Structure 1
């Protein structure tokens, strides 16, 4: 029996949850197919998911297809919940990307396939909803080729589109058109196959072509396309054959040291934290002590109290779980999403999608709920680490980073339903970044005014490569002072750079420690340790922000705002009315391309303006405009740089900082 960890991905409303239900029914796991609009689907288990009819959290369900055990992971389709999709990608052996036969290729469809191809995850395409009015076949294949990938091949025909009688017939070796298309596609990526075809076209039998198709699909070079309807069951048998025959099964050595990745964390009804783990290699047993490690280097360990795996639509306890399987582990209270389990590090923690670009302040309706709100947000953050919680102790406020307005509504409902905390939100703002504009250095010496701390710290800040984050270096010898003091400087650098000159996180920079000095642990004769004459880690943690911000001020910083790449399709005669609106939104469009009565326009627009553009578009284009947008990096802010209120002790203002830190001012 083989194991296949399969992801179902799609743009919202393409029908992936309905497809999951149909696959469960085909496998004999459920007798009645649930409906999203009735809130009766197996994988949408949250009350909020059933109420809204959308997938918010990824869910795992297992079933058997022939000799293959499929662990199917249903993921959200709405772009506001892309963080859930991101965590799933690292544990997949293959994927089904669902496309609506009516709406066709949509914005999220393109983002998902680009990511799947970049990560080399084998993917087949399923065109759903062929029974709906407006369903397409030939024109949709052309659109998929143009907008997704030219490396596709239709695996069957479709008839009676747009009716409940819509059906399809799989192509066979007797179809010369299919054989020719398959040969043309596969020989693009295989010189040996091309040579064989040139020598003797008859030698490329249908069986050999199908074997080559499976091999190239497994390498993410080509994408077979299946047509059907999850609602009626049309085309599902062919899709099942494609899943089991074209996508590669999980691999891994069960006798190797245990290694796996945590892709989801939730809690039981009793509040116990459980971790969803994809085992890469080795075996984890119940009651064994398991080590885990986060991408940022945090380490921990715990005793696994119970192990369960997914079987035939349910969950069953087992003594252990081996390579290639997905399991839930209990008894690890400190484990987090993205952690690697076992002795060796699994590939985890890589960011595949853009980080959140929006932020809002969460305000409890009842002031007495402030403590409960902090606890609830901490629970949400442990389930979704990309949704960062930012606490402002000075103003007693809490901010959340977000992907969009729908996510804000879901968080509001979740806080009310699960934690009994009613909240409101302030206006959503954009999250910017700061980067050093040049190089700056600063130093303060021990026992020298105006330095009130028993520490010497010198730092130099310089720009780093785009996307490099923060790199910390040392020009001082490690032996020049205890490592705990060195570590205190490094930790303070990283925490201080969360807020730069304008209050935004500073990134893409190199910080070098240029000076160090301390007073060793001392005491009076026959006395005890005297803090007033001995350096501590606290001295370095408190002095480092002052030196670092002084160096950063000398280097200068530039504020960057998040930008989206957009693609607009609209009637050609509406382009004139759209131009002034794009200018007001600070969008930078490229030259338009006209195809008959339709016009295509691509360009850049600030992330903060995308929602407004979406709202204005129907009125400007008589409801015929279609907008796709995706994060495309950060660009320098034009005009005055926006400031974000600081939440720390503000080392930019020395007097106030010292009063808040040590309750005194030097001199």
Structure 2
């Protein structure tokens, strides 16, 4: 029997969890159909999910069909929890994209589609809520064609169906014209290669079309072949009701056995196979299996084991940072609790400012804040408030420079030369090594590259994270007598900061701010007000087609200007307007001088990220400020 991992994704309120319930019930996994609005959904089993009526955490269920076992991952639909959704993509064989017939392809549907495309995940589409008054099959199919022309209705295989399939591949088209037939295996291959996207229609709440869709998943999915060598990918960290830390992973090669040491001093204790909240403990997990592992302490979502590489460059990123407020005697307990939640969601980026005695966290939006507040109360017995959110800026560079860092206190020695170059928009930080082994031995080069990879590097304008840069090791020096562990780490960080300060002096460092992609639905008479607002906020927009008296405006605008606009929209539309905002990436900050002045960051005084170097003379180490380092060091290395 083939085992297929399939994730279910959707815009919030499209009926994703209702479809999951329907699939479980139709397959016989559930004897009684649960309901989201009644808090009885099988997969929304967390108390917070039952109260809110939304999926907050990814959940797993098992569906046994005639020819397959589907490992179903139900993912969060609300944008504030999109990080957890994205983390599951790395383990999926297939995806189900649920689209509401009444809303069609929304901006978030497009975002989900782009993510599935970038991860190359074969996708089935279920058009839900076909029993509503607004449902129009022809219009929905036309809407889906904006995602891809090869979204094809399945379920009624006739000549028109096969003609549509055939046009996706020249060889198959030629075969079809000659024989009038297309083999099922060829259709499976086209789906798996993302050249055909099966579309099914139904109403999950009334179980219409669910049985046919389940049969389609059984029929049109392929058996995945895995290598014999062990590997796995981690997609989730959680804690059970007893506080046991669980590492959720998919075995992507070989076999995972209990008591295996996966990393130094970290051994697999239990291997659990979950179905909803219930699980069984097994001695081993084979390739293709999803398992929750106890006993591991330092794993993280996106981590690859064996031949799998880490997935670190997630698209869904927080854009707001909030200060956490609690009573003074609970500060340490709150920080400890937030560290555990950060273990489950690393993008919380919990920060502790020792001088100000302040905790801060990064979040996607206010709904996530409300959930965090409730989790702190329910799970840890802590009460917390959150101060007004600040924008998460980033920094990049506009020109190239060679930075040098030197670390030579008494009985220590290391020097590092890094070439900093602007990277492509959205590329993040890229680390390269072009240093000759004749210049710097491999063991020291490895220390430099590890140091670059193991820290969040900050800019020199506001202390915000760096992005869109190439950082290349080009040279350095060490001492067989005096160089000890940590020396190259110190020299590496100083080299990066020294180069940034050189560029800052030349006005070649730029501040970037996050932008939203927004969709605004309002009544026709309020369009003038909306356009005026968007222009004032520095946004760009397009007015789409109107549906009766409702007009849709789409566009992009800075997060700083849009973060409270949803409240404004609710007020001036008396609750009828809808604003949906999605993170759209970073762009050059228009009022950067004002932002830099307000943050008032001093890069030279940042003792944890100093641009200065340490040299030794007369038997003692002394600090050399960044702009004087070139006169002391072997600099520039590229021209030496």
Q: TM-score, normalised by structure 2?
A: 0.85
Q: Distance in 2 between matches of 1:24 and 1:592?
A: 38
The match for 1:464 among 423, 426, 433 is 423
Is the CA contact 2:411–2:483 (under 8 Å) kept in the aligned structure 1? Answer: no
* SS at 2:88 equivalent: helix
Mapping of residues 204-219 of structure 1, within 5 Å: 204-205=180-181, 208=182, 212-219=186-193
Is the CA contact 1:499–1:646 (under 8 Å) kept in the aligned structure 2? Answer: no
* SS at 2:226 equivalent: coil
> Could you tell me how far 1:239 is from its partner in structure 2?
0.8
Is the CA contact 2:407–2:490 (under 8 Å) kept in the aligned structure 1? Answer: no
> Could you tell me how far 1:453 is from its partner in structure 2?
8.1
2:468 corresponding residue in structure 1: 508
Is the CA contact 2:45–2:277 (under 8 Å) kept in the aligned structure 1? Answer: no
Aligned residues: 611
**Residues 503, 210 of structure 1: alpha-carbon distance in 2 compared, 3 angstrom cutoff:** same
Q: Distance in 2 between matches of 1:447 and 1:323?
A: 50
2:283 corresponding residue in structure 1: 319
2:356 corresponding residue in structure 1: 395
Mapping of residues 503-542 of structure 1, within 5 Å: 503-512=463-472, 516-517=476-477, 521=481, 536-537=484-485
**Residues 504, 452 of structure 1: alpha-carbon distance in 2 compared, 3 angstrom cutoff:** farther
**Residues 61, 301 of structure 1: alpha-carbon distance in 2 compared, 3 angstrom cutoff:** farther
- Deviations 1:462-520, CA, capped at 9 Å, x for gaps: 32333443345667665667777666665666647324332111222344566645666
Q: Distance in 1 between matches of 2:473 and 2:96?
A: 49
Residue 553 (1) aligns with residue 532 (2): no
2:213 corresponding residue in structure 1: 239
2:634 corresponding residue in structure 1: none
> Could you tell me how far 1:272 is from its partner in structure 2?
2.5
Is the CA contact 1:57–1:76 (under 8 Å) kept in the aligned structure 2? Answer: yes
1:650 corresponding residue in structure 2: 606
> Could you tell me how far 1:72 is from its partner in structure 2?
0.8
Q: Distance in 2 between matches of 1:220 and 1:459?
A: 41
The match for 1:187 among 144, 161, 166 is 166
For structure 1, which runs of at least 5 residues remain unmatched after alignment? 156-169, 174-178, 292-299, 522-533
**Residues 647, 270 of structure 1: alpha-carbon distance in 2 compared, 3 angstrom cutoff:** farther
> Could you tell me how far 1:6 is from its partner in structure 2?
1.3
> Could you tell me how far 1:375 is from its partner in structure 2?
1.2
For structure 2, which runs of at least 5 residues remain unmatched after alignment? 615-619, 626-640
Mapping of residues 253-402 of structure 1, within 5 Å: 253=227, 256-291=228-263, 300=264, 302-310=266-274, 314-341=278-305, 344-363=306-325, 365-402=326-363
> Could you tell me how far 1:353 is from its partner in structure 2?
2.4
Q: Distance in 2 between matches of 1:437 and 1:452?
A: 38
Mapping of residues 84-123 of structure 1, within 5 Å: 84-123=84-123
> Could you tell me how far 1:112 is from its partner in structure 2?
1.1
Q: Distance in 1 between matches of 2:407 and 2:184?
A: 74
> Could you tell me how far 1:354 is from its partner in structure 2?
2.9
Is the CA contact 1:62–1:311 (under 8 Å) kept in the aligned structure 2? Answer: yes
Q: Distance in 2 between matches of 1:442 and 1:655?
A: 10
* SS at 1:56 equivalent: coil
Is the CA contact 1:62–1:314 (under 8 Å) kept in the aligned structure 2? Answer: no
Q: TM-score, normalised by structure 1?
A: 0.81
Is the CA contact 2:15–2:100 (under 8 Å) kept in the aligned structure 1? Answer: yes
Q: Kindly report the root-mean-square deviation, in angstroms, between the aligned alpha carbons of the 2 structures.
A: 3.6
2:194 corresponding residue in structure 1: 220
> Could you tell me how far 1:78 is from its partner in structure 2?
0.2
Q: Distance in 1 between matches of 2:314 and 2:304?
A: 17
> Could you tell me how far 1:83 is from its partner in structure 2?
1.0
| Greater shift in the superposed pair: 69-78 or 184-193 | 184-193
* SS at 1:3 equivalent: strand
